[in-house]
Amino acid sequence: MKPGLALLCVVLLSARAAALTPGELQRITFDQHIGQVLSRDLRFRESNGQAVSLGDYFGDKPILLVLGYYHCPMLCRLINDGMIASLQELQLSAGHDFQIVSVSVDPSEAPELAAAKKVQYLRQYGRTGAEEGWHFLVGDKNTIAQLANEIGFRFAYDPPSGEFAHPSGFLVLTPDGKISRYLLGMRFDARELQAAIAAAANHQEGSLVKQLALVCFHYNPVTGKYGRLIVNGLRFSSVLTLILLLALIYRLARDRHRTITS
């Protein structure tokens, strides 16, 4: 079953010929690997500089796994904002009931940047005890590529802009590191998230999530134009608005005519 295009927000700042092509952008998606057990021996560095293995976070709690990068200008912030907003509605708390592992896909990012992002998101989350349960990791290119491949996270680097195009969403893992569920998009229903965490805690696997064939901001740096989906959507909205406006004018004129003749 070939998944559709994931909800994707890509900010590209240049229009030079070396930028990602439309075909490359269409491959930016999640390939859902439900039931995949992640490699325990993948080596990263924590925000405090400590060397760790991914398996260090496996144990007795489910894990929310979030891939992105810490200097991301828009999409990563929107994903984390949406995730935190949903988490704040739960009685479950990071550190006590589950862990969060955020991993940068940019091998040039250092633990210092991860530490700054950790402070920011912990302050936003605002729950005591979360510091020990939310981990921010950096790694080398090969390790990042292996993790991304195992979870089906398809991303690409755009040289002109210096940014990464990547899908939106995160994963819920069982305590032993098996992929239980994907939550896609930028806004996440709190009840769905709680159910996903509870299922993962019981080592249950969820079902595939339908990926929306929608691009929230798809700019082609090669042509300097917006994607066909966005253009057609704007055209449809404009025509619909015009029709509704004409209908309103006709109704007002008819009502006025009836008032005058009565």
Reported as half-sphere exposure (CB side, CA atoms, 13 A), residue 36 has a value of 19
> How many Å apart are CA 100 and CA 109, to the nearest integer?
19
Among 101, 95, 121, 99, smallest CA distance to 54 is for 101
Q: Find the angle CA(123)-CA(106)-CA(70) to the nearest 5 degrees.
A: 15
Distances (CA, A) of 57 to 26, 37, 135, 187, 249: 33, 13, 9, 26, 63
Sequence-distant (≥ 6) Cβ neighbours of residue 199 within 8 angstroms: 172, 180, 181, 205, 206
Ranges 8-12, 68-72, 88-92, 249-253: which has the least confidence: 8-12
pLDDT (average), residues 206-227: 46
Q: What percent of the chain has pLDDT over 70?
A: 79
Query: Residue 115 — very low, low, confident or very high, per pLDDT cuts 50/70/90?
Result: very high
DSSP 125-149: H--TTGGGTEEEEE--HHHHHHHHH
pLDDT tens digit sequence for 194-214:
999 999 999 998 777 655 433
Q: Give residue 10's Cα distance to chain centre.
A: 11
pLDDT at 164 over 80: yes
Q: What is the pLDDT of residue 210?
A: 55
Model pTM score:
0.75
Ranges 16-25, 29-38, 113-122, 158-167: which has the least confidence: 16-25
Asked if 183 and 193 count as a contact pair (C-beta separation under 8 A), the reply is yes
For domain 8-220, the CATH class is alpha beta
pLDDT at 3 over 80: no
| Packed helices 75-87 and 111-125: angle between N→C axes, nearest 10 degrees | 40
> How many Å apart are CA 244 and CA 3, to the nearest integer?
36
Query: Residue 142 — very low, low, confident or very high, per pLDDT cuts 50/70/90?
Result: very high
Q: What is the pLDDT of residue 236?
A: 53
Q: Which residues are bridge partners to 170 per DSSP?
A: 183
Show contacts of 70-74: CB within 8 Å, 24+ apart.
Answer: 70/104, 70/106, 70/109, 70/113, 70/114, 70/116, 70/117, 70/136, 71/106, 71/109, 71/113, 72/163, 72/164, 73/11, 73/163, 74/9, 74/11
Residue 30, amino acid: F
When the pLDDT of each residue in the chain is averaged and rounded to a whole number, the result is 83
pLDDT (average), residues 234-243: 65
Q: What is the pLDDT of residue 33?
A: 95
pLDDT tens digit sequence for 171-185:
999 999 999 999 998
Q: What is the pLDDT of residue 240?
A: 67
> How many Å apart are CA 257 and CA 217, to the nearest integer?
45
